[in-house]
Structure 1
Amino acid sequence: MSTIHWTEGHTHHSARWHSENGSALPRRVVVVDDRTKADEAYRRARQGTGLLWQGDFHNARHLLRAMGRRIDRKRPSANTSQKESFDLHRRAGAHRARVLGRLLVLLDDGYTVALRRAPDVRHACLEAYGPPKGPMVISLRELLGVIGAHQWRLRGIDVPVLGTRIHPHYGVFAPVRGEYVDLVAHTPLPPVTRCSPAGSAAFDLGTGTGVLAAVLARRGIGRVVATDISPRALACAKENAHRLALADRIEVSGPCLFPEDHADLIVCNPPWLPSRPTSPIEQGVYDADSAMLRGFLTGLSAHLRPGGEGWLVLSDLAEHLGLRTRGQLLTAIQAAHLRVVDKIDTKPRHPRSRDATDPLHAARSAEITSLWRLTTTDR
């Protein structure tokens, strides 16, 4: 646990430092307020100085946006490969997060923000961080993320195939891209499962919010085991199962990838890009060295019942970005003693696939999301 120190007037203060993405403690902290200009704040933040805000809360948000505009002025050259564009995009994102993450706010004991026009963030922080442990300093950017996650948790996200809403928790990847959910909802179940769905079992590996587990249960699967390595995801999936009145058919287990059991259908929607995540929420998108994908493939045979199938839901965006080839994926499937029964494809529907200003537009516009139906080579 790190402690952050600063001085106001002639008085020295300290508080616990907290960063969800593991940002290092600022080397130096100065107090800033409504008189601080964006150019000055940007310059100090780039130098590594933490800026503890003591002015109006809304003005702090304006300052954060102004600092962001100064970062965004530099645009990469158009004459780059997709792999180079992705690397530049990741480095630019990391730089942006570092600089903007140096505008700080103090949360008093009990998660109150003693700034003019500050919102009541106590409930949101309690959901994200658990019971308070005294005053702590976090980045304003992180606090805004906590507030936004609280609103998403309250409102939920509409999932048409369920006819209801799923409520994500802070730090849990939300099902904002519906095409992968639709693939699991509409792909024909394995023959062994169709014969007796109520007596069959399915696993949802890396369940997140539990949305795919809920889809499988609604399709009539008698027992669904939802796993994840994240305690936040496990709590989120369990809460959503109760909300949907499916707690008697969805068992939330973990932290783990595979449960100690066998199933007729095993579904996995791993992170699609083999790159290192820089924050907990990025673990739903980035997976260093495709660890979860490889874990799913190598462990599938040992957990499938005779006649069962494994469903791998995966985008080919990594292939378009030069991060993984189709040959590497097929080799990994073959090395795990699996064969492809079928592959069902769909095009993405999210707005970024149509945004020509996105630096990764060429790859996103060509992206295909697929459900790979896999079974063992000896069946």
Structure 2
Amino acid sequence: MPCTFDHEEYVVSTIHWTQGQGPTHQSARWHSENGTACPRRVVVADDRTRADDAYRQACEGTALLWRGDFHNARQLLQAMGRRIDRKPPRTGTSAGESFHLHRRAGSHRARVLGKLLVLLGDDHTLALRRAPDVRQACREAYGPPEGPMAVSLKELLGVIGAHQWRVKGVDVPALGKRIHPHYGVFAPVRGEYVDLVARAPLPLIRNAAATGTAFDLGTGTGVLAAVLARRGIRRIVATDISPRALTCAKENVRRLGLTDRVDVTGPCLFPEGRADLVVCNPPWLPARPAGTIEQGVYDPDSTMLRGFLAGLSSHLRPGGEGWLVLSDLAEHLGLRTRTHLLDAIRAAHLRVEDKIDTKPRHPRSRDTSDPLHAARSAETTSLWRLTADTP
């Protein structure tokens, strides 16, 4: 049956299905972190459902609400993924075309695998055989329960994984500590950009270590703000437009004992006032994210990058610097040119004082089977030291 929509202050979608010999008609609220539309047709699936049938129905747009064993559901999801992988991905004649084909294939994969659903109960309980206790993970990702809720199994597995990362944390050698990312907040697993901020020379300001002020724009987990505090900057103001990121950064600042040095505020890009140092590590690819989870990677039309450059001069103290941490992967993919970046810097009345480069260390840069391997292997991450180009 099709989903219905209840119009209140926001749109709430509901899935409907029939179950049992009666059969009985049932419904539940639909939720998708990526904004995936409510499935228009839902059927019940269980341990008797064959992978070929599940894959065919998912490709046709039918969602399958799983009512069997949890581990069997995971195996079915993997089997559906293998059927997607049977068709080799197309490769483009250019890096840019390969990128767009790669994203299209990824969207198709997410769309098909997202059709396998599970039902969370009134308290976020997953009432399936051999199911783990997901209540805390779901509260962290979704907030307090508001009645039964249907989500894709693929999304739920991501929620569970994010909870494990939040508990264990991610080791950050530049800090000698662990950072604990929250669900939906970009984790500092690519350490090269953190190392750049940890080793770049601080602006030559009188008594910088004693009186310096820094802004960390788009702080995410708060990792760069923490690095700046460890380097001796007296006061750091960390901002973000994401409420989840702000909560995550505040928690990490408390864990690290830096609440007297780091002030997390927002949602905004620039805080009020001026600073000796303004650091920004915007999403590196100027493309539209498929959902909130991808906002740490994709920056539509380079909105955050352009906002940082446009506002930098008016937020720098005399002699201050702006540090732009940016990969050139977009250039290798044909999504942005170096000329375009330099023109944007000049248009913002900024001058490049220096550029510190590093090569990626993540496994994908060495994965020759990756359709974007040529671009990833050539990638360089840079810290651009920018100053106001005053007459």
TM over 0.5, yes or no?
yes
Question: Structure 2: how far apart are the matches of 1:351 and 1:277?
Answer: 23
Which residue of the other structure, out of 128, 133, 145, is the alignment partner of 1:120?
A: 133
Deviation at 1:73, TM superposition (A): 1.7
SS at match of 2:334: coil
Deviation at 1:77, TM superposition (A): 4.0
Q: Which residue of 2 aligns with 1:284?
A: 296
SS at match of 2:360: coil
Which residue of the other structure, out of 185, 205, 214, is the alignment partner of 1:202?
A: 214
Which residue of the other structure, out of 340, 347, 352, is the alignment partner of 2:352?
A: 340
Is 1:170 the counterpart of 2:187? The answer is no
1:282-319 deviation line (CA, Å, top 9, x unaligned): 11110110000000000001100010000000000000
Q: Which residue of 2 aligns with 1:8?
A: 19
Question: Structure 2: how far apart are the matches of 1:79 and 1:322?
Answer: 12
Q: Which residue of 2 aligns with 1:84?
A: 97
Is 1:227 the counterpart of 2:239? The answer is yes
Is 1:145 the counterpart of 2:178? The answer is no
2:33·2:293 contact (CA, 8 Å) conserved in 1?
A: no
Alignment of 1:25-174 (within 5 A): 25-78=38-91, 80-174=93-187
**TM-aligned CA distance change 1:275 to 1:30, over 3 Å:** same
Q: Which residue of 1 aligns with 2:305?
A: 293
SS at match of 1:125: helix
Structure 2 unaligned spans of 5+ = 1-11
Deviation at 1:260, TM superposition (A): 1.0
Which residue of the other structure, out of 300, 320, 324, is the alignment partner of 2:336?
A: 324
Question: Structure 2: how far apart are the matches of 1:249 and 1:4?
Answer: 48
Aligned length: 378
- TM-score by length of structure 1 reads 0.99
Question: Structure 1: how far apart are the matches of 2:92 and 2:60?
Answer: 30
Is 1:304 the counterpart of 2:334? The answer is no
- TM-score by length of structure 2 reads 0.96
Which residue identity does 1:26 align to in structure 2? Answer: P
Q: Which residue of 2 aligns with 1:24?
A: 37
Deviation at 1:198, TM superposition (A): 2.1
Deviation at 1:197, TM superposition (A): 1.5
Question: Structure 2: how far apart are the matches of 1:198 and 1:255?
Answer: 28
Question: Structure 2: how far apart are the matches of 1:365 and 1:284?
Answer: 21
RMSD: 0.9
Which residue of the other structure, out of 197, 200, 212, is the alignment partner of 1:187?
A: 200
SS at match of 2:294: helix
1:220-242 deviation line (CA, Å, top 9, x unaligned): 00100000000000000000000
2:92·2:98 contact (CA, 8 Å) conserved in 1?
A: no
1:106-127 deviation line (CA, Å, top 9, x unaligned): 0000000111000000010011
Is 1:270 the counterpart of 2:269? The answer is no
Deviation at 1:76, TM superposition (A): 3.0
Question: Structure 2: how far apart are the matches of 1:267 and 1:337?
Answer: 17
Question: Structure 2: how far apart are the matches of 1:269 and 1:62?
Answer: 38
2:92·2:101 contact (CA, 8 Å) conserved in 1?
A: no
Deviation at 1:79, TM superposition (A): 5.6
